[in-house]
Structure 1
Amino acid sequence: MGLTLSAFVFNTSEFMPIGLLTDIAQSFAMTPAEAGVMITVYAWMVGLLSLPLMLIACRMDLRRLLLLTLALFTIGQAGAGLAASFPALLAARIAVACAHSVFWSIAAPLATRLVTREHQPFALSLVAAGSSVAMVFGLPLGRVVGLALGWRTTFFCIAAISFLTLVYLCRVFPPLPQGERFSPAQLPSLVRQPLIAGIFLLSLLYATAYFTAYSYIEPFLSTTAHFAPSLITVTLMVLGVMGFCGSFLFSHCYGRCRFGVLRAGLAGLMASLALLLPASASLPLTFLTCMVLGTISTCFNLAMQAEIIRHTTRASSPVAMAIFSGIFNVGIGSGTFLGGRASAAGLLAYVGFFGAAIAAAAAVYLCLVYIPQAKKRERDGA
């Protein structure tokens, strides 16, 4: 429950600027494309800091590390609400990015350590449920609060919720045995594993493809699909609701057909991104496309995390997840950058096509390289 709450506040914070991008830009006399740099910087800072911070913290007790991470997160959210200038807002978001870097490095390993192996997919799906709740209620409600009371109020609300989550975890989170320690000297052998390297490449391509379109979904729905502001909020909620479906599909299907889940994930991503523009002419088709996109994004993201845990030891999994989180956020930043350049060039309507092309490259690598390597490892009994 505590990790689910933590995932809720972290994901709400990460994606909240997407729903308030226009208002934040207006506060600082900027265009949405210029203000979108905030999303890019946040993501790239997570990408740069995830591994170094986790290597520094890997010898720390995980419970204490989790609590310190939430404390830094709370401070960063309050700082964002108080920011008097765009550089000050960026600085506060970088502090939050540091907390983000550590949290998503330890969230999945912590969840799986609290349960038996057969319940690990379910534990991961509960963490993802926090992310889905953030997309269903956190992001849209943050947008509603921001539109009604100003975007700063939304940041203050997240700071308050994260503080309450910190107090709750102080009381309920159990101590964990230390177990084997990871040494930085083991890092080269970890990243040289073909399957681990393959997951990192897939995460980069997947995140770049998805966020090329998703980071600018608000202006896309406004200017291309001509949605009213209230309908944009509903659409964002639809995306989040379908995250629950993605969590459900993962927890029930991954253990029985993991390669099928991976294939369907990238195929669905490619198709839904390619259909964004054609579907924008119809409200039902737009909703259907967003439903597929929301389901696929959650399911495939969980599958990649499960693949990392499958191919790493208990000691190395937090470090591997740190690299995964860093690379994933480099993909978020890259996708946001590409989407921003497309928007600035007057090609906002076509961001889905750009994302679909990148997803197609990921699908080719998955089917021709990663899955054959994984099947060979299983046959060899490694």
Structure 2
Amino acid sequence: MTEIDEVGRAAEPCGRPGGLARKRGGGLPAVGALAAATFTVVTSEMLPVGLLTPMGGELGISDGTAGLTLTATGLVAAVAAPLLTLLIGRRDRRLVLVALMGLLAVANLLAAYATDVVVLLAARVLVGLGMGGVWAIAAGLVVRLVPERRVASATALVFSGVAAASVLGVPAGTFIGELGGWRAAFVAMAAVCGVVAVALGVLLPPLPAAGAVRLGGVLGLFRGAAVRTGLLLVVLLVTGHFAAYTYVRPVLEDVSGAGAGQIGALLLAFGVAGMAGNFAAGAGAARTPRGTLLLICGVLAGAVLLVPLLGRGAGTLGAAALVAVWGLAYGGVSVGTQTWLMAAAPGAREAASALFVAVFNGAIALGALAGGRAADGWGASGVMWLGGALALAALVTASVGRGPGE
């Protein structure tokens, strides 16, 4: 018999989630497959960042309008995450993840053959569906795949897929776009989705849910003050980051004078630093979520605000240094805020993950939209001022808000 916990999700019957799953598989290969899945969904989501200029030029749209491809993806993912978590019920999470990866492959192929912005936006809607589902499921599975003592490091590994998307995915997409055009980058991404779908099917153990997540369980999490603080941090940090980062290519071109061939290298610097920031934040957040996020907020705000102040005078090398510090700070945002929320709602991991993904992707959409308006109205520097101001607001929130266990 199982018991229904306070958020409406059936408790796992084997003492802790996933005890049975690990007997049939799991461990590092399975966690690696989840990391590959997060890498794939984030690369699919962020691919337009490095292709914004050529996409807009061929389709005859402004940078701000091209940025709506990120807005559409984020909005759909924000809605899809909790809804898909509710709809899949007790279905095997392994099979659901494989199906969602297949959907992402189709979406990227559709984007590659888009003839106008309407078709491109339709493709990005499908990316949002796949992305929201994968994130909502994958983030809560780590505890079912590894022993308790390894959960923190395994969670950091899964979230390393986010930073790896910046290190490898977005720069590689930008490079492919320079060689074969932006459409070739989407075709390559579709192929990667297919490979990851196979890896998930082979490496993950069967992962049926012991109980379905219910709508009341997800909404009930808002009663926790620490959960509300964590979600507000997600909104401020992610909105601020994407308001600026969505338009990082035109910013680097206009403010720092970076050429088209240098953009990929600058994004690579961002991603390499982000990988380091992810693992550092994962270790730090396991000990002190508040202290880790205070550091992240402060460094992120400083780096973003210095881009318009120092970028032009410092040249490409100075821009590279600022972008690397920016990446170091933002690399820890996903794992830092996820760790905060998991600690704030330890009895409702999958429900908390669904809520986290919904808010995170809603913030991505809001950031891309706000950044687009700032870019069109205030120019390249405007998006940096907006992003930095929101990071400062997050710093205040992390300082005064209720934390896990308080």
CA distance, structure 1, for counterparts of residue 287 and residue 355 of structure 2: 27
Q: Which residue matches 1:84?
A: 115
1:360 to 383, 387, 392: 392
Are residues 1:299 and 2:309 paired? no
- Residue 177 of structure 1 and its aligned partner are, at CA, apart by 5.3
2:267 to 236, 244, 255: 236
CA distance, structure 2, for counterparts of residue 50 and residue 175 of structure 1: 21
- Residue 128 of structure 1 and its aligned partner are, at CA, apart by 2.1
Q: Which residue matches 1:289?
A: 322
Structure 1 unpaired stretches of 5+: none
Residue correspondence of structure 1 range 292-371 to structure 2 within 5 A: 292-313=325-346, 316-371=348-403
CA distance, structure 1, for counterparts of residue 278 and residue 213 of structure 2: 30
Q: Is contact 1:46–1:101 with CA below 8 Å preserved after alignment?
A: yes
CA distance, structure 1, for counterparts of residue 128 and residue 264 of structure 2: 25
Q: Which residue matches 2:44?
A: 13
Q: Which residue matches 1:147?
A: 178
Q: Which residue matches 2:160?
A: 129
Residue correspondence of structure 1 range 45-194 to structure 2 within 5 A: 45-176=76-207, 178-194=209-225
Q: Is contact 1:58–1:319 with CA below 8 Å preserved after alignment?
A: no
CA distance, structure 2, for counterparts of residue 18 and residue 361 of structure 1: 25
Residue correspondence of structure 1 range 193-232 to structure 2 within 5 A: 193-232=224-263
Q: Once the two structures are superposed, what CA deviation does each residue of 1:31-83 show, in whole Å capped at 9, x if it has no partner?
A: 21221111111112212222222211243221121111111111111111122
Q: Which residue matches 1:29?
A: 60
TM-score (norm 2): 0.88
Structure 2 unpaired stretches of 5+: 1-31
One-letter amino acid of the structure 1 residue matched with residue 374 of structure 2: A
Percent identity for Structure 1 against Structure 2: 28
Q: Once the two structures are superposed, what CA deviation does each residue of 1:130-176 show, in whole Å capped at 9, x if it has no partner?
A: 22222112111111111221111111111111111111221221123
- Residue 25 of structure 1 and its aligned partner are, at CA, apart by 0.8
CA distance, structure 1, for counterparts of residue 387 and residue 256 of structure 2: 18
Q: Is contact 1:261–1:300 with CA below 8 Å preserved after alignment?
A: no
RMSD over aligned Cα, in angstroms?
1.7
Q: Is contact 1:213–1:355 with CA below 8 Å preserved after alignment?
A: yes
Q: Is contact 1:17–1:39 with CA below 8 Å preserved after alignment?
A: yes
Change (3 A) 1:8 1:187: closer
Greater mean deviation of Cα atoms: 206-215 or 286-295: 286-295
Q: Is contact 2:33–2:200 with CA below 8 Å preserved after alignment?
A: yes
